[in-house]
């Protein structure tokens, strides 16, 4: 950075502020979490430390720390409302407009489940999607209609599921199938 700063000082027309700017990753916490609780998880700290050239921006779900509220009748009675998560979509659109552009989008648990919903309902573009312990929001049939209509998403994607994550590991393959360029 010193060399770039020194070179810029000597010839400011050659360099822009983007020359040394970090690429940004939009991070979506899990359901019931907060940006702070997500940011302070050991795995997230390790990930940030391993990617020093990236800036993580931790978003806050706008309603009860959930990107998608449970259906009115509970999880056994899916909602068919395609606008069920509009507050979260609008919040993220505003955040991207104010703090973007973003290189990537990362989600954990419900944050990962929300990524295909968001991608299906926004014009914002990301270069990569990273989903950890995610799933498809099958209790939200209206949201899944928009995901299915937009899939497969043509964005490099990482879908991670832990071998001992018995609650979600079997759902990761359905999430993976919504991306044409995934690992």
Task: Compute and round to an integer the Cα radius of gyration of the chain.
Answer: 18
The interaxial angle of helices 110-120 and 141-150, nearest 10 deg, is: 60
What is the distance between the alpha carbons of residues 137 and 108, in angstroms, rounded to a whole number?
Answer: 13
Query: In whole angstroms, what separates CA 83 from the centre of its chain?
Result: 19
What is the distance between the alpha carbons of residues 10 and 3, in angstroms, rounded to a whole number?
Answer: 11
Average pLDDT over residues 135-153: 96
Say how many C-beta atoms besides its own lie within 10 A of residue 98's C-beta. Answer: 7
DSSP per residue, 142-176: HHHHHHHHHPSEEEEEEEE--TT-TTTGGGHHHHH
Indicate whether 7 pLDDT > 60.
Answer: no
Name the pLDDT band for 126 (thresholds 50, 70, 90).
Answer: very high
Q: Is 18 exposed, middle or buried (0-12, 13-18, 19+ CB in 10 A)?
A: exposed
pTM above 0.75, yes or no: yes
The residue behind tokens 């914002």 is 124
Asked whether 159 and 130 are in contact (CB, 8 A), the reply is: no
What is the distance between the alpha carbons of residues 136 and 132, in angstroms, rounded to a whole number?
Answer: 12
Digit-coded pLDDT (tens) for 56-92: 999 999 999 999 999 988 888 899 999 999 999 999 9
Query: Which pLDDT belongs to residue 16?
Result: 46
Query: Which pLDDT belongs to residue 140?
Result: 94
State the average pLDDT for the chain: 89
More confident residue, 110 or 74: 110
Q: What's the CA dihedral at 154, 158, 162, 163 to 10 degrees?
A: 70
């Amino acid at each position: 950075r010193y060399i770039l700063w020194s070179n810029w000082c000597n010839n400011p027309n050659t360099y822009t502020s983007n020359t040394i700017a970090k690429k940004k990753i939009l991070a979506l916490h899990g359901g019931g979490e907060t940006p702070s609780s997500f940011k302070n998880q050991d795995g997230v700290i390790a990930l940030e430390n391993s990617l020093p050239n990236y800036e993580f921006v931790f978003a806050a779900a706008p309603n009860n720390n959930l990107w998608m509220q449970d259906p009115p009748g509970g999880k056994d009675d899916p909602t068919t409302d395609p606008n069920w998560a509009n507050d979260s979509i609008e919040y993220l659109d505003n955040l991207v407009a104010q703090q973007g552009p973003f290189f990537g989008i990362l989600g954990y648990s419900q944050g990962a489940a929300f990524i295909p919903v968001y991608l299906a309902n926004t014009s914002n573009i990301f270069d990569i999607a990273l989903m950890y312990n995610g799933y498809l929001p099958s209790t939200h049939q209206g949201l899944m209609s928009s995901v299915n209509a937009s899939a497969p998403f043509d964005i490099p994607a990482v879908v991670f599921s832990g071998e001992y994550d018995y609650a979600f590991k079997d759902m990761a393959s359905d999430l993976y199938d919504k991306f044409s360029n995934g690992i």
